[in-house]
Amino acid sequence: MLKYRDPLSLAFQALADPTRRDLVDRLLRGPASVSQLAEPVDMTMSAVVQHLAVLEGAGLVRSQKIGRVRTFQVDPDGLRRTEDWFRPRRTPTESRLDRLGEHLARSEPPQENP
């Protein structure tokens, strides 16, 4: 079939599995090794590694290996690019608020609880 190889399809596909979304959530709290990621999950490390490969293939996480430990972390750009699919597809009512938000974001840096 060889048809779902575009980045958006890969990302949505990756997020369609609750185990993988849990892994993303874990990684949002900070980088973690394969063992650390596998520990709370009720399946073999092998399966977790396969899930991580899907997430990495979708550009949602990245990893690097130091010694025998591979450490994963979220790729914020991957998440943002996926979320960006929705923005131009909001209904007009939602879009008006949205355009305001973008306008303000462009014009003034925000204040943290002034």
Residues making contact with its own copies (CB under 8 A): 3-4, 6, 8-9, 12-13, 15-18, 21, 24-25, 28, 74, 76, 79-80, 82-83, 85-86, 89-91, 94, 96-102, 104-105, 110, 112
3-state secondary structure 13-37: HHHCCHHHHHHHHHHHCCCEEHHHH
| 48-57 CB contacts, 8 Å cutoff, 24+ apart | 48/23, 51/17, 51/19, 51/20, 51/23, 52/23, 54/13, 54/14, 54/17, 54/20, 55/14, 55/20, 55/23, 55/24, 57/10, 57/14
Token digits for 44? 């073999």
Shorter beta-carbon distance to its own copies: residue 12 or 64: 12
91 binds, among its own copies, DNA, none (CB under 5 to 8 A by kind): its own copies
Among the listed ranges 23-31, 36-44, 88-96, 97-105, the one in contact with DNA (CB under 7 A) is: 36-44
Residue of the chain from 8, 28, 47, 100 that contacts DNA (CB under 7 A): 47
Q: Is 95 in the site for DNA (CB under 7 A)?
A: no
Where along the sequence are the contacts to DNA (CB under 7 A)? 1-4, 13, 16-17, 19, 33-36, 43-47, 49-51, 54, 65-70
